[in-house]
Amino acid sequence: MLTPLDDLVSIFSSVSTYQTGKNTLVLDRGVSSQLNFLTENHFSRFSSQANIDKILWYDADTISEQIQNTIDPTSPHAATSLVFLFNLHSKENFLKLDSFASCLRDTILPLNANFNVHLIVAHPSLDKSVEKYLSTIGVLGDLTSLQLWNSLLYFEISPDIYSLESGPDAAFSQLFLDNSPLPLELLAKLLLDLYISSDYKLRITNIYLKGEKSHQFWKIYERILDSHLQTLSDNQRKIIDDIDETIFMDLHSFYNNAVDFICLDRSNDIVSLLLTQLSYSGLCNEIFNPSTQLEMIQFKPSDSDEVMKFKLDDSSDDIYPQIKYLNFSHVGPVLNHRAKQLQLEFDRRKKLKDLDEMKSFVNELNSLKNMQSWVQKHTNLAGFIIHSFKKDALDLTSGVPLLDDLSIEPFESRNLGNLSLDSYYAQLIELQQDIVSNQINTAQILARISDLLINFNSSLSDATKLVVLTSIVKNGIKESDFQTLHLEMVNKFGTLQVTPILLNLQKLKILQIKNNNQQLAFWSFSDNSLLPSKSQSILNFASLSKSLNLLPLHGDEDRSDGLFNDLAGRYTDADFGYPGYVPVFARLIQSIYDRSFLNPPNSAVENRKPTQQQIDSRRAIKYGWSNVDLDQLSGPTKQEFLVPESKRKLFNAIIPPKISELKVSNSQPNAKLSAHFSTVVICAVGGITGSELAAIKYVLSSNSFTKNKRIIILTTGMINGTQFINSMSNPA
């Protein structure tokens, strides 16, 4: 099977048959991060394979001048051909075809009517439609060749986390605002690709779907899976039948080899996009706001004049996997502990006496230096985050401090260390907590948003997120209450910035303005009935938060400051990634396997974790959502065991085994299934946040039924609140 990079190289090979000499590549920045990922940042090697000698960055405002200088026939180094490579994954990128057409007609052809111009468009499903569009705008005949790069592009952004990563608009607005089926089709192809590449061992045995987009996704997957299976040979079908026979041999085999597929779409929880993320990975995503997770983060430490650049989830970084899902207040102690361990290792060299010990130490030295480098990088990064979230600048002139010196200690409200009470982010997080706890009325909330806007210079994104959060929690906002704040937002940011966002949010019924007086003319088309939305399915937040225990109450005794290697050993609930809020995604996943959070304990004694003996005595339940109250989440729900008809009686009649009788390691006697032992595949349609990932990792690692399972995450893209709001900025 050709890789996407092999496919692209073969396209360039066919381009090279049209002329002699090297190609000048005109590259769309929207595809550059994908190329860096595919080439493992060895772009020069790819350039050699693709016969490229020069690269121009495509910019509609400057490309004509760049091309004039490049193809000037009087120049001794004039290009012999131009190859344009565009990413057409989103609707905005089709505008590039129009500007490309103008460049071709107005600049290239007047200079040299016979010049070789090739166009490569990256899109996983377009075919004749691009050709027809180019013909319509009158430039198809002027191209030397038109090539389609339609390989499925997806990225393993960290182990077992696969993302389409085609930008924040693809993560949400393409699905819900544009109602495009493309992200669903790409996700379905991704799941099928993983199934095929596993030699068909990733056989889904149970499905749990919540939300309309999730159901649409599953229908698409069933269709393309069925089409694929029909193309298989008899021998390949026999392999699949043998795998089925192994999985459904008996109940023990099923529980040890089941592959649960859980698909949740973004409509189930917009709230997680509106709250400040408090996990390390989530904060990094919010502060640096990358368009894809493939980008390098860049920042300048306060004690240095040099810009620091590195990629999170770098394969050589052993620190980030340990701290990425932690609440930020726990990152400092971990880094400090690793720094002290390194210091002890370096001090050990002073005590070395014999030659063998010295040789052993030298062999370890590169590893220690690499660890030291990453500890320093994350210490600088954590310091930069604190600096960004504090009102007063930090004095970091004395060199790279230990995180203890930066006051990153756990504190009562799980915020960003010891934030001063009058800092912007302390006020912002406190207001978020007051809104979700539903302790103050709408007028008070809007007044405090106004205060943040005027006195703390709040961004449009933050102010809008608070308004939308209020609308969801309060089941809408009266127009008369919102009028003053709306005017302040328009005065500060301008109508052209504010209005499209609010209109699109209202169009999707994510923001609901109740027109009691119709004083704001542009809200007059709104539907006052507050009907359920396909984009925001929480019907009553107060009831939902109670039924799913989204706002758990626990005291300081529930937190541990110890240096644990796993989330389950550190926290007692999944609210550590947000200001006291458990994401609905995490609760829905947790509720499939465990209901203990539905009746939270009333005393410290009841809150103790069960003993191992109690755990071992439990039986593996026939899990699902059957006894979970999901009445406050609109949208369809589906759960189904995908058991062969001949085996169904076995799963209705036999008592499930005890946990102690199930396998708890990846040592699997049956070689056919050893590569994918007992897996949970989670598909987040419409994007997922870093803090949601942290909460999901926590609830699955805390449960005896799932802690030893392999967890695979599929998503349209990583997303944060700012990207969500910005994706609403295009006129509807």
DSSP code per residue over 288-343: H--SSTTSPEEE--TT-SSPEEE-TT-TT-SSHHHHTTSBGGGHHHHHHHHHHHHH
Closest CA to 228 of 185, 206, 196: 196
651 vs 382, which has greater pLDDT?
A: 382
Examine the domain organization and report whether 62 and 87 are in the same domain: yes
> Is position 54 within any domain?
yes
Q: Give the model's pLDDT for residue 663.
A: 60
Confidence of residue 620 (pLDDT cuts 50, 70, 90): low
Residue 392, number of CB atoms within 10 A of its CB: 8
Mean of the pLDDT values across residues 701-712? 89
At residue 373, the 3 state secondary structure works out as helix
Pairing of strands 308-310, 297-299: antiparallel
Q: Give the model's pLDDT for residue 605.
A: 42
Q: Are 146 and 27 in contact (CB under 8 A)?
A: no
> Is position 551 within any domain?
no
Closest CA to 504 of 535, 483, 481: 535
Examine the domain organization and report whether 144 and 172 are in the same domain: no
CATH number at residue 325: 3.90.830.10
Examine the domain organization and report whether 160 and 147 are in the same domain: no
Q: Give the model's pLDDT for residue 74.
A: 65
Final residue before a domain boundary, out of 94, 117, 151:
151
Q: Give the model's pLDDT for residue 524.
A: 46
449 vs 181, which has greater pLDDT?
A: 449
Could you report the per-residue pLDDT of 559-572, keeping only the tens digit for each? 455 555 678 878 98
Residues 6 or more apart in contact with residue 441 via CB below 8 angstroms: none
Angle at 182 between CA 126 and CA 287, to 5 degrees: 120
Mean of the pLDDT values across residues 486-491? 96
The identity of residue 281, as a single letter, is S
Q: Give the model's pLDDT for residue 21.
A: 65
- The secondary structure element, H or E, covering residue 641 is strand 637-641
pTM comes to 0.86
Examine the domain organization and report whether 71 and 132 are in the same domain: yes
CATH number at residue 141: 3.40.50.2060
Closest CA to 719 of 174, 86, 123, 94: 174
Given a cut of 70, whether residue 731 has pLDDT beyond it is: no
- DSSP notation for 127-190: SHHHHHHHHHTT-GGG-SEEEEE-----EEEETTEEE--S-HHHHTHHHHTS--SHHHHHHHHH
Q: Are 730 and 167 in contact (CB under 8 A)?
A: no
> Is position 225 within any domain?
yes
Mean of the pLDDT values across residues 259-287? 95
Final residue before a domain boundary, out of 534, 562, 584:
534
Could you report the per-residue pLDDT of 327-367, keeping only the tens digit for each? 998 998 999 888 888 888 777 666 666 766 666 666 677 78
Confidence of residue 404 (pLDDT cuts 50, 70, 90): very low
Examine the domain organization and report whether 302 and 384 are in the same domain: yes
Examine the domain organization and report whether 161 and 67 are in the same domain: no
Given a cut of 90, whether residue 450 has pLDDT beyond it is: yes
Confidence of residue 476 (pLDDT cuts 50, 70, 90): very high
> Is position 277 within any domain?
no
Confidence of residue 460 (pLDDT cuts 50, 70, 90): very high
Mean of the pLDDT values across residues 421-443? 90
181 vs 400, which has greater pLDDT?
A: 181
Could you report the per-residue pLDDT of 318-333, keeping only the tens digit for each? 999 999 999 998 998 9
Closest CA to 83 of 152, 16, 158: 16
Tally of domains within the chain? 4
Closest CA to 286 of 730, 591, 728, 725: 725
Examine the domain organization and report whether 130 and 184 are in the same domain: no
Pairing of strands 637-641, 145-149: unpaired
Q: Which domain holds residue 428?
A: 424-534
> Is position 449 within any domain?
yes
Examine the domain organization and report whether 355 and 390 are in the same domain: yes
Share of the chain residues as helix, strand and coil, in percent rounded to the nearest 5: 50, 10, 40
Q: SS3 sequence, 656-721?
A: CCEHHHCCCCCCCCCHHHHHHCCEEEEEEECCECHHHHHHHHHHHHCCCCCCCCEEEEEECCECCH
Given a cut of 90, whether residue 526 has pLDDT beyond it is: no
| Torsion sign (Cα): 198, 202, 208, 212 | positive
Q: Give the model's pLDDT for residue 410.
A: 31
In angstroms, rounded to a whole number, what is the distance separating the alpha carbons of residues 82 and 626?
60
Q: What is the mean pLDDT of the chain?
A: 82
Examine the domain organization and report whether 18 and 88 are in the same domain: yes
Closest CA to 122 of 80, 93, 160: 93
Q: What are 449-458's contacts with CB under 8 Å, separation 24+?
A: 449/485, 450/484, 450/485, 450/488, 451/427, 452/424, 452/427, 452/428, 453/485, 453/488, 453/489, 453/492, 454/488, 456/424, 456/427, 457/424, 458/424, 458/428
Examine the domain organization and report whether 243 and 178 are in the same domain: yes
> Is position 338 within any domain?
yes
CATH number at residue 231: 3.40.50
Instruction: Compute φ and ψ for 715, nearest 5 degrees.
Output: -155, 155
At residue 100, the 3 state secondary structure works out as helix
Mean of the pLDDT values across residues 590-612? 66
Examine the domain organization and report whether 205 and 87 are in the same domain: no
Confidence of residue 695 (pLDDT cuts 50, 70, 90): very high
In angstroms, rounded to a whole number, what is the distance separating the alpha carbons of residues 594 and 623?
8
Pairing of strands 637-641, 206-210: antiparallel
Confidence of residue 692 (pLDDT cuts 50, 70, 90): very high
Q: Give the model's pLDDT for residue 80.
A: 75
Confidence of residue 687 (pLDDT cuts 50, 70, 90): very high
Given a cut of 70, whether residue 518 has pLDDT beyond it is: no
User: Across-strand partners of 682?
Assistant: 262, 713
Mean of the pLDDT values across residues 159-169? 80
Q: Give the model's pLDDT for residue 408.
A: 32
561 vs 15, which has greater pLDDT?
A: 15
Mean of the pLDDT values across residues 9-25? 79
> Is position 557 within any domain?
no
Final residue before a domain boundary, out of 491, 512, 534:
534
Residue 141, number of CB atoms within 10 A of its CB: 7
Report for 102-111, 134-143, 230-239: range of highest mean pLDDT: 230-239
Residue 259, number of CB atoms within 10 A of its CB: 25
Could you report the per-residue pLDDT of 98-113, keeping only the tens digit for each? 888 888 888 888 877 7
Confidence of residue 606 (pLDDT cuts 50, 70, 90): very low
Q: Give the model's pLDDT for residue 411.
A: 29
The identity of residue 438, as a single letter, is N
Confidence of residue 531 (pLDDT cuts 50, 70, 90): low
Residue 543: how many CA atoms within 13 Å on its side-chain side?
A: 9
Q: Give the model's pLDDT for residue 672.
A: 45
| Percent of the chain residues topping a pLDDT of 70 | 79
Instruction: Compute φ and ψ for 620, nearest 5 degrees.
Output: -70, 110
Given a cut of 90, whether residue 422 has pLDDT beyond it is: no
Tokens of 627: 């006894």
> Is position 605 within any domain?
no
Examine the domain organization and report whether 51 and 124 are in the same domain: yes
